[in-house]
């Protein structure tokens, strides 16, 4: 297994997914969203960087996704479905495309974006993102700005400031079956071309030394002796003893369960292509 990330010469080069891999991804997405009861808590909606998810109210258990998707896209709102299951085949494909171990995949989220609209403000992600483009076209802007190995924490903003001007490094326009990699910490934004676009954003991250240190600190917080008032020397001695004696557990990879694609629901086969094909182009 690779010890670290191998950087290719052109980090934003677009590669093509094998047609059967792209088809498998589309099929997995359609089967997943067809199971609507399991979908409610995984949906997020956003318009031009503004998160609107708390305004969503989904009454019914079944039959709501298709009309809702249609409605939101017509209002220029992007729909995100988090935690699309990751199959063995998809993990292998992503690993091949990114040159990163399949075990490093952390999550797979679906983005459905209406034409001419930008779902998110320029931002960077605290992990490598493999983009698998499934429907329509989308232009990605990659900015010069980077953060050095960012993580999500209270002190770091991964979103560009409002009104901040970011020099553009390159743009990438992708179509169905295209795949490219956004390195960790590189700022980017994207605009869907009319009428809509769909892609999977697949997060890839190894284990990080800092995760162990955080886990240790969190563990220490639960130990009343380590929160006690002591002299500086006594406190230092106890802290050293704790660190020396701490039993680290290796991070278990992969973080996701490799699951078979959800069963096809007979009779009501969902197809995002049908919903998006019916949207007006403008
Ligand atoms: Fe991103």
pLDDT (tens digit per residue) in 111-129: 999 998 777 889 999 999 9
User: Is residue 61 in some structural domain?
Assistant: yes
104 and 231 assigned to the same domain: no
pLDDT (tens digit per residue) in 153-203: 777 788 888 888 999 999 999 999 999 999 999 999 999 997 899 999 999
What the block records as the tokens of 148 is: 């050095």
Residue 130 Cα to ligand 1 midpoint, Å, equals 10
**pLDDT value of residue 118:** 78
17, with CB counted inside 10 A (0-12, 13-18, 19+), is buried
Range scoring the smallest mean pLDDT among 25-29, 61-65, 235-239: 61-65
Range scoring the smallest mean pLDDT among 11-20, 57-66, 109-118, 127-136: 57-66
200 and 224 assigned to the same domain: no
23 and 158 assigned to the same domain: yes
147 and 216 assigned to the same domain: no
132 and 239 assigned to the same domain: no
Quick check: 139 and 191 in contact, CB under 8 A? yes
118 and 200 assigned to the same domain: yes
138 and 112 assigned to the same domain: yes
**pLDDT value of residue 89:** 85
Residue 125 Cα to ligand 1 midpoint, Å, equals 5
Residue 126 Cα to ligand 1 midpoint, Å, equals 9
What the block records as the tokens of 22 is: 């792209």
**pLDDT value of residue 266:** 60
User: Is residue 4 in some structural domain?
Assistant: no
| Band of pLDDT at residue 145, cut at 50, 70 and 90 | very high
Residue 170 Cα to ligand 1 midpoint, Å, equals 15
What the block records as the tokens of 108 is: 């797979």
User: Is residue 88 in some structural domain?
Assistant: yes
User: Is residue 3 in some structural domain?
Assistant: no
SS (H, E, C) the chain: CCCCCCCCCCCCCCEECCHHHHHHHHHHHHHHHHCHHHCHHHEEEEECCEECHHHCCCCCCCCCHHHHHHHHHHCCCEEEECCCCECHHHHHHHHHHHCCCHHHEEEEEEEEEECCCCCCCCECCCCEEEEEEEECCEEEEEEEEECCCCCCCCCCCCECCCCCCCCEEEEEEECCCEEEEECCCEEEEEEECCCEEEEEEEEECCCCHHHHHHHHHHHHHCCHHHHCCCCHHHHHHHHHHHHHHCCCCCCCCCCCCECCCCCCCCCCCCCHHHHHHCCCCC
Number of folded domains that form the chain: 2
Find, among 44, 39, 105, 101, the residue nearest to 262 by Cα.
Answer: 39
CATH number for position 105: 2.60.120.650
Give the domain range for residue 119: 15-206+254-277
Residue 123 Cα to ligand 1 midpoint, Å, equals 6
Residue 147 Cα to ligand 1 midpoint, Å, equals 13
118 and 178 assigned to the same domain: yes
What is this structure's pTM? 0.89
User: Is residue 282 in some structural domain?
Assistant: no
Residue 229 Cα to ligand 1 midpoint, Å, equals 44
Residue 174 Cα to ligand 1 midpoint, Å, equals 15
pLDDT at 264 over 80: no
130 and 38 assigned to the same domain: yes
218 and 119 assigned to the same domain: no
Quick check: 169 and 144 in contact, CB under 8 A? yes
User: Is residue 117 in some structural domain?
Assistant: yes
What distances in angstroms separate CA 150 from CA 147, 188, 223, one per listed residue? 6, 14, 29
217 and 119 assigned to the same domain: no
145 and 193 assigned to the same domain: yes
């Amino acid at each position: 297994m690779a010890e670290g990330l191998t950087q290719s010469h052109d980090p934003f080069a677009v590669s093509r997914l094998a047609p059967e891999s792209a088809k498998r991804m589309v099929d997995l997405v359609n089967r997943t969203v067809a199971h609507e009861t399991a979908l409610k808590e995984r949906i997020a909606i956003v318009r031009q960087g503004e998160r609107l998810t708390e305004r969503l109210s989904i009454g019914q258990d079944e039959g709501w996704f298709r009309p809702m998707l249609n409605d939101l896209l017509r209002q220029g709102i992007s729909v995100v479905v988090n935690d699309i299951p990751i199959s063995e085949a998809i993990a292998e494909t992503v690993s091949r495309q990114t040159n990163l171990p399949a075990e490093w995949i952390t999550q797979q989220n679906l983005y459905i974006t209406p034409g001419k609209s930008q779902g998110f403000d320029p931002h960077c992600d605290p992990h490598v993102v493999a983009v698998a483009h499934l429907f329509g076209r989308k232009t990605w802007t990659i900015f010069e700005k980077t953060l050095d190995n960012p993580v999500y924490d209270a002190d770091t903003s991964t979103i560009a400031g409002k009104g901040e001007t970011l020099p553009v490094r390159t743009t990438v326009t992708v179509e169905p079956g295209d795949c490219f990699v956004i390195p960790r910490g590189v700022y980017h934004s994207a605009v869907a071309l009319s009428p809509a676009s769909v892609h999977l954003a697949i997060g890839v991250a190894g284990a990080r030394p800092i995760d162990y240190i955080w886990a240790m600190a969190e563990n220490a917080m639960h130990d009343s002796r380590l929160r006690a008032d002591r002299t500086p020397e006594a406190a230092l001695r106890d802290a050293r003893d704790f660190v020396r004696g701490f039993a680290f557990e290796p991070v278990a990879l992969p973080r996701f369960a490799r699951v078979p694609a959800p069963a096809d629901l007979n009779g009501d086969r969902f197809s995002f292509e049908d919903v998006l094909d019916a949207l007006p182009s403008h």
